[in-house]
Chain A
Amino acid sequence: MNKIFEIPLYPYARSADQDAAAPARHTVAVVGAGPIGLGVALDLAQLGVEVVVLDDNDKVSFGSRAVCYAKRPLEILDRLGCGVPMVDKGVEWNLGKVFFDQRQVYEFNLLPEDGHKFPAFINLQQYYFEEYMVARVREMQAAGKPIELRGGNKVTHVTPAVDKVTLDIDTPDGPYQIEADYLIACDGANSPIRRQLGLEFVGEVFQDNFLIADVIMEAEFPTERWFWFDPPFNRGQSALLHKQPDNVWRIDFQIGWDIDRAEELKPENIDKRLKAMLGDVSYELEWSSIYTFQCRRMEKFHEGRVIFAGDAAHQVSPFGARGANSGLQDTDNLAWKLKLILDGTAPETLLDSYDIERIHGAKENILNSTRSTDFITPKSETSRIFRDAVLDLAEKHDFARPFVNSGRLSVPCTYDGSPLNSADALPQGPARSRPGSPCADVPLGDSFLLSRLGGRETPRFTLLAIDTDAPDSLTVSGLDVAVLRLSAQDAPLLADRYLGTAEGAVYLIRPDQHVAARWPAYDETTVTAALARAIGKEQ
């Protein structure tokens, strides 16, 4: 049986653009049909922005690569129409265990909070994730949305100009050109576009290799994340075991710096490692690969009309599952801004806030991933001595457990200090909902708050009034603001997540469901000013 990642889901097909006398003009060209390219294309097309996605490949991710998806990206995907299939197929998990040598030294529970539509984490093969996104592209095409996906289209050169970007594309039928108002480069960590434009990608390469194996087996292990430091089956190194759907298990072996890649990847050598770890089990090797991990990012995420997102803009080690998870926060941040700029509702400089906010996010992710990687791969003898001391103490003493770092799992970024935020006028409100933060979900009868914020078809700002007055409707700077009036009496978690000790509150919420401003009560002048600020119109 063919695996989904072996089937061309978007095979090359000749497009009319290839026969055009002059290069066809598109609104947005996305390079790369990985999760981030597909994510931004779905978001834009849903907002009615015409978009063409180009990929030199025609299949979903070969092998699973990313496996852990956090709540925030699932919420984003829900707005794009593919969150629910991910959760239906995915494996939910909450428990993680850490072993040192033969002993369990630490156990953590993600302790998901009540009252959210989506779980804290699911595990799912990256190829399924991409498959659901491609399916959603097809669904949107059937509904007449302006989205195109061209496989077998390799972008070989880009020529940026003041008002457009020209792309040279190679295909099985030979080369052609297109033009676009904006180009979004989602062409992965090795981004050929970034290289061609000579843009820096600086950071740290960790002098270590990890052998990643996905194996199919009937096993009794629970649905938990198991992480070993210095286990008998991989002395001096670490290992990880984590479950995915269809009885696929993700296994990582840290294997050190000086290795013979080809030798390590031989099935008989992988088999030795697996047998040492799992005993004499029968399994099928679905996919294996060796990675060196890096934490790096670009200095700026856009140059004129060329915008970078996902791994092309920033790369992290996978401890913490921050790669795809943070890339989707890029697209969530970018799509509405680009739509407002294209509509002429917001100034082009709004794009600067994409850099500011997502570089803030990338720094946070890089900091966390770097610290985890340093704990897992200590860089000096002393660093290893402290690491082992933490693990030794953690077995018996709770105080040492917070120091154990086998990956700090992806949490959404709060855009503290963003120029789009207005000063917090509700200090009695909970800190988690301060300006810049992503809105926390709350059950509203049989639906959820997040499904009523943001908007799919338009980049909609929402004025959320809780137990206080607000107008029936509001239009500012040509933007229709949706007004949502709720009472904490009907939804008690609203008080906990949005009121704190305040009696009432008004929140201005961006299309990406981040808080732009909040007040104890509605005032037209301040709300108008906050909205203008949130679309980059004033400081």
Chain B
Amino acid sequence: MAKLNTTRNVAGADDVYQMLIDAHEGLSKAESDALNARLILTLINHIGDGEVIAEALALAKG
């Protein structure tokens, strides 16, 4: 049973996407990488379910 929500779930997709891009504005590659890593870890904690993370990783790997 898939647990990962792969249906459309973000209201205002353009706004949210813009937030992500804006957050990286003016950062060096190293700073951006660090920000992404902190973001991923924070979201992983929010999700809190290893199975969902595993499914998301599999999806992202393609």
Give the residues from 20 to 62 in chain B that come closer than 8 angstroms, CB to CB, to chain A. 33-34, 37-38, 40-42, 45
Q: Chain A contacts of B33 at CB under 8 A?
A: 382, 385
In the complex, A386 has a CB within 8 A of chain B: yes
> CA A389 – CA B37 in complex, angstroms?
6
Contact between chains at B34 and A389 (CB < 8 Å): yes
Contact between chains at B34 and A388 (CB < 8 Å): yes
Contact between chains at A392 and B45 (CB < 8 Å): no
Among A386, A397, A399, the residue within 8 A (CB) of B37 is A386
Contact between chains at B34 and A393 (CB < 8 Å): no
> CA A390 – CA B42 in complex, angstroms?
9
B8 to chain A, nearest CB (A): 28
In the complex, A448 has a CB within 8 A of chain B: no
Interface class of chain A by DSSP:
helix
Q: Chain B contacts of A386 at CB under 8 A?
A: 37, 40-41
B48 to chain A, nearest CB (A): 9
In the complex, A24 has a CB within 8 A of chain B: no
Q: Which bracket fits the contact residues of A?
A: 10 to 19
Give the residues from 368 to 390 in chain A that come closer than 8 angstroms, CB to CB, to chain B. 382, 385-386, 388-390
B28 to chain A, nearest CB (A): 13
> CA A493 – CA B42 in complex, angstroms?
39
Contact between chains at A389 and B45 (CB < 8 Å): no
Interface class of chain B by DSSP:
helix
A117 to chain B, nearest CB (A): 37
Contact between chains at A400 and B34 (CB < 8 Å): no
Contact between chains at B45 and A385 (CB < 8 Å): no
B45 to chain A, nearest CB (A): 4
Q: Which bracket fits the contact residues of B?
A: under 10
Q: Chain B contacts of A385 at CB under 8 A?
A: 33-34, 37
Per-residue CB contact flags for chain A residues 401-432 toward chain B (1 = under 8 Å, else 0) read 00100000000000000000000000000000
> CA A224 – CA B33 in complex, angstroms?
34
Q: Chain A contacts of B37 at CB under 8 A?
A: 385-386, 388-389
> CA A232 – CA B28 in complex, angstroms?
23
- Which residue on chain A has the smallest CB distance to residue B38? A389
Contact between chains at B34 and A403 (CB < 8 Å): no
> CA A400 – CA B45 in complex, angstroms?
8
Give the residues from 434 to 449 in chain A that come closer than 8 angstroms, CB to CB, to chain B. none
Q: Chain A contacts of B34 at CB under 8 A?
A: 385, 388-389, 392
A181 to chain B, nearest CB (A): 48
Q: Chain B contacts of A390 at CB under 8 A?
A: 41
- Which residue on chain B has the smallest CB distance to residue A392? B38
> CA A403 – CA B42 in complex, angstroms?
11
> CA A403 – CA B48 in complex, angstroms?
13
Q: Chain A contacts of B42 at CB under 8 A?
A: 393, 397, 399
> CA A385 – CA B41 in complex, angstroms?
11
A253 to chain B, nearest CB (A): 25
- Which residue on chain A has the smallest CB distance to residue B46? A399
B20 to chain A, nearest CB (A): 16
B6 to chain A, nearest CB (A): 24
> CA A3 – CA B14 in complex, angstroms?
71
A451 to chain B, nearest CB (A): 40
Q: Chain A contacts of B45 at CB under 8 A?
A: 399-400
A158 to chain B, nearest CB (A): 46
Q: Chain B contacts of A388 at CB under 8 A?
A: 34, 37
B4 to chain A, nearest CB (A): 21
Q: Chain B contacts of A382 at CB under 8 A?
A: 33
B13 to chain A, nearest CB (A): 26
Interface residues of A (CB under 8 A from B): 382, 385-386, 388-390, 392-393, 397, 399-400, 403
Interface residues of B (CB under 8 A from A): 33-34, 37-38, 40-42, 45
CB pairs A–B below 8 angstroms (24 shown): A382-B33, A385-B33, A385-B34, A385-B37, A386-B37, A386-B40, A386-B41, A388-B34, A388-B37, A389-B34, A389-B37, A389-B38, A389-B40, A389-B41, A390-B41, A392-B34, A392-B38, A393-B38, A393-B41, A393-B42, A397-B42, A400-B41, A400-B45, A403-B41
